[in-house]
Amino acid sequence: MKEADIRRKYIEFFKSKGHQEIKSAPVIPENDPTCLFTTAGMHPLVPYLQGAKHPAGRRLTDFQKCIRTGDIDEVGDAVHLTFFEMLGNWSLGDYFKKEAIGFSFEFLTGKENLNIPVEMLAVTVFAGDEDCPFDAEAFEIWKSHGIPEARIAKLGKKDNWWGPAGVTGPCGPDTEMFYWTGPLPAPEVFDPADKRWVEIWNDVFMQYNKTADGTFEPLAQKNVDTGMGLERVTAILQGKTSCYETEIFAPIFAKLDEIRKVEPVEGARSSSERIIADHLRAATFILADGITPGKVDQPYVLRRLIRRAIREGRKLGIEGHFTSQIAEAVIGEFGDVYPELREKAAVIKEELDREEKQFAITLEKGTHEFQKLIDRVPPHITKKVISGKNAFNLYETYGFPIELTVEMAKEKGFEVDRAGYDAAFARHQELSRAGAEQKFKGGLADSSEETARLHSATHLLQAALRKVLGEHVEQRGSNITAERLRFDFSHEEKMTPEQLKQAEDLVNDAIRRDLPITCEEMSVEEAKKSGAMGLFENKYTANVKVYTMGDASKEICGGPHASHTGELGHFRIVKEESSSRGVRRIKAVLEHN
């Protein structure tokens, strides 16, 4: 079964069960400081999982484009992906375990759906601990569907528990479904440690709230959040050992073969080919959502993806610019499903070409730095070595892969301290992974009163910037913590002190007037006619929420917000800087007397 068929069947199945389809949100989360990227389908639904009413109702389904970067250095093997699609369905205080498990079982085994034989499936449930009891309900529901007890494993919090995202908040047990990929027949007894059992679906039951004192209280609104990775399921159902071997990547590899002027190959692709395909697929989607290469946060990740792909292209002997050609293949493959790719095609290719030109200059500087290392070694030294630290600096600062450094060193009669390089690289990976666990941990954003006030302040700030700088100003990203707001917006030039003061004064004037903040639910067309600002329009469902702040601001938004602008206190801009090409960033705080 092809990827497009699985995606279509999934959405049609859940629509037949009373779910409303919602559009995929951008890969850049809106107002969620826990993540740089959307790493799961739940991110756009944060306010609704916390109790806000969703305009489309209480049963939702979608396919969500996601980016996960905690394992960038592992991409190149058969399993890791940076970009992937997540199929999801949600119950926002509507149905719970019985229906959720029933839906999952029916979709997996139904003849009109995936038609997987029951004997190929196994599941896990939460075993229980001192905090919360064994999930006997999920256990019994699976048995009622014909899953034998020997195929139901009871596991602890490490394997079958979600959340909370922070110290406190919503959390609960989950149940995971596994498919047997080894030789037939599948073992009668399910061993979760046997890697031939591959997880394909996860149903999370948000039924508890963890309090500050560590106790678990039942939630007033119990939610279901499920996720199925489309690429993984496609590979499994097609009997492939890797998603790179499915039709999902075929057009990308075909374009790569054409660029290299080589005959198409059958079977597994090389590590370099997989890195190029994955990284440039991810980069194309990130660029389509308005991010351009830069030095911090999402722009930095984007630059890293593009440059790693270019380095791998050089390993394969590609000399000229090629990234925009790969992007064309990605757009051709996914443009019907994600129209924003076609809409932004010219910008995507332009940015990739620009980044390749810039990286060529960087590589030239790196070559110069390499020569300086060589020149510092006295001619009479017999064993000439480039230290691991210097080799890693060439990689980290100038993008030199270790293989290139070794090759150039050999030409000069030098060796490279590969063990020292590997140690430095391992330290870098540990730091990256530790950072990823914080930056990309995902989950429910902080919804305190302070973050709600800062969220309201971003609306006032955007309205002020459009008055001061012009109507070309649009939000390009927002990150809010309880202490400050960070707002990225489209603008080419550094703001002057006078412009910053004007924007600050406009926001504080709106605060001083204590304007009411009201929310109305209406159609997208009605919202546009009312003059509401619309950010990331491709994500909106048929109905949206519009927040109005007197005569100062009117925006489509999911919330949450303060009730009056007077609650915000004094608004102060702390810093204005470049975020990436054509995008500026403002950091600001609210001060209370």
Helix (H, G, I), strand (E, B) or coil at 231: helix
Taking Cα atoms as reference points, which of 240, 234, 231 lies closest to residue 83?
Answer: 231
Neighbours of 434 (CB within 10 A): 11
Neighbours of 413 (CB within 10 A): 10
- b/e sequence 221-254, b meaning 16+ C-beta within 10 Å: bbbbbbbbbbbbbbbbbeebebbbbbebbebbbe
442: phi then psi, degrees, rounded to nearest 5 = 75, 170
CA–CA distance, 264 with 249 (Å, rounded to integer):
13
171 is in an annotated binding site: no
Q: Tell me whether strands 161-162 and 169-180 are parallel, antiparallel or unpaired.
A: antiparallel
**What are the tokens at 66?**
């996601």
CA–CA distance, 202 with 6 (Å, rounded to integer):
17
Helix (H, G, I), strand (E, B) or coil at 97: helix
561 is in an annotated binding site: yes
Q: Tell me whether strands 543-549 and 553-556 are parallel, antiparallel or unpaired.
A: antiparallel
Residue 203 Rama label (left phi>0; alpha psi -120 to 50; beta): beta
531's CB contacts (< 8 A; 6+ apart) are 554
Helix (H, G, I), strand (E, B) or coil at 405: helix
Angle between helices 345-375 and 297-315 (to 10 degrees): 70
CA–CA distance, 247 with 249 (Å, rounded to integer):
5
CA–CA distance, 202 with 179 (Å, rounded to integer):
12
**What are the tokens at 495?**
């703001």
Angle between helices 297-315 and 402-411 (to 10 degrees): 50
455 is in an annotated binding site: yes
Angle ∠(537,542,545) on CA atoms, nearest 5: 70
80 is in an annotated binding site: no
Q: How is the beta sheet containing 517-523 ordered, strand by strand?
A: 517-523, 543-549, 553-556
Q: Which residues belong to the annotated binding site?
A: 455, 459, 557, 561
Q: Which residues line the annotated binding site for Zn(2+)?
A: 455, 459, 557, 561
